[in-house]
Amino acid sequence: MAKNTYECIIVGAGIAGLQAAIQLGRYMHNVLVIDSQNGRSNLCRGYHNILGWPDGVSGQTLRELGQKQAKSLEIEFMNDLVIEAEKHDKEILLRTKQGTEYKTKTLLISTGIKDQIPTIKDIEPCLGISIYVCPDCDGYEVRDKHVLLLGSGSTGANLALTLTYWTNQITFINHDSKELEQDMKNKLMQHNITIINEQIAAVIAENESSFKGVKLKNGQTVSGDRGFIGFGGNHVHSELAKQLGVELLENKHVLVDPRTKETNITNVWAAGDVVAHSEQVTIAMADGCQAAIWIHKRLLKGT
């Protein structure tokens, strides 16, 4: 093949993209993975609900292991950001921020989403260890603990209510003091959830990653055993899909065929959190593997 021309290009080297790369590498296809190192899995210090990792595993570890495994299968990697995508008959053209053009027969979009987290001092070392984002992943970690819900408005309030499944000790810190409807206030009150309308200045932690509470902008400190984040406004990285005419939901997640993970645009697949699903690492892995299987089938047919 000509330089910068591939059988498949994967945009995004998160969990879904790496799993797809490994599967396609085992099919011995000519594959390039383009990644900007800005995925949400970079931030998580510990996933605790994955088979084989009972003590938890960080997103960074999974990414490093996955990339090493994919490279052993001769998968190429490029650190860059794809900013434009065009489809011309049976060929897809990609342009990157660094000015490089790539051509491919098939494309997998695994660009994920990015959590909206305000600038709060010392929060990052605690993410995935003692401050969590996903109740389905980590609600179990806060059972019977005093949780500080660091969030905003109805998004934070609803997450606080969700966490009552695991604990009845919850304080909701409404970071930007967004007004809550009276019905929501009543629900929080019924569950004895305290509401504090004040901006968070910093996280208080022992040994950098052990959450102990927060310091508010007004100087007050609030103690807690664990933290949870619920700010809303997460960014879905579906811009490339939109450029290619891929069907999106109102929330900008990508629609795919549930069996093949192919979008409504022929030879364009999507996998992982950019797709409309439960945003779980294990599901992202399954998505990536399933997409790769059907990409292989298509390549065998000569696209």
The two structure tokens encoding residue 84: 């434009």
Question: What is the fold of 124-230?
Answer: FAD/NAD(P)-binding domain (3.50.50)
Q: Which of the four CATH numbers 3.50.50.60, 3.40.50.970, 1.20.1050.10, 3.30.1280.10 does domain 5-115+234-302 have?
A: 3.50.50.60
Our measurement of the distance from residue 85's CA atom to the centroid of its chain's CA atoms, rounded to an integer in Å, reads 22
Q: Which pTM was predicted?
A: 0.92
Closest CA to 120 of 144, 145, 148: 148
Residue 162 · residue 172 · CB < 8 Å: no
Q: Please state the domain extents for the chain.
A: 5-115+234-302, 124-230
- Could you give the CA distance from residue 117 to residue 136 in angstroms, rounded to a whole number? 19
Give the distance, in angstroms, between the CA of residue 277 and the centroid of all CA atoms in the same chain: 11
Task: Show pLDDT as tens, one digit a residue, over the chain (303 residues).
Answer: 557 999 999 999 999 999 999 999 999 999 999 999 877 777 777 888 999 999 889 899 999 999 999 999 999 999 999 999 999 988 999 999 999 999 999 999 999 998 888 999 999 899 888 999 999 989 999 999 999 999 999 999 999 999 999 999 999 999 999 999 999 999 999 999 999 999 999 999 999 899 999 999 999 999 999 999 999 888 999 999 999 999 999 999 999 999 999 999 999 999 999 998 778 999 999 999 999 999 999 999 986
Q: How far apart are CA 111 and CA 94, in angstroms?
A: 14
Q: Residue 202 CB: number of other CB atoms within 10 A?
A: 15
CA dihedral 120, 122, 127, 131 (to 10 degrees): -80
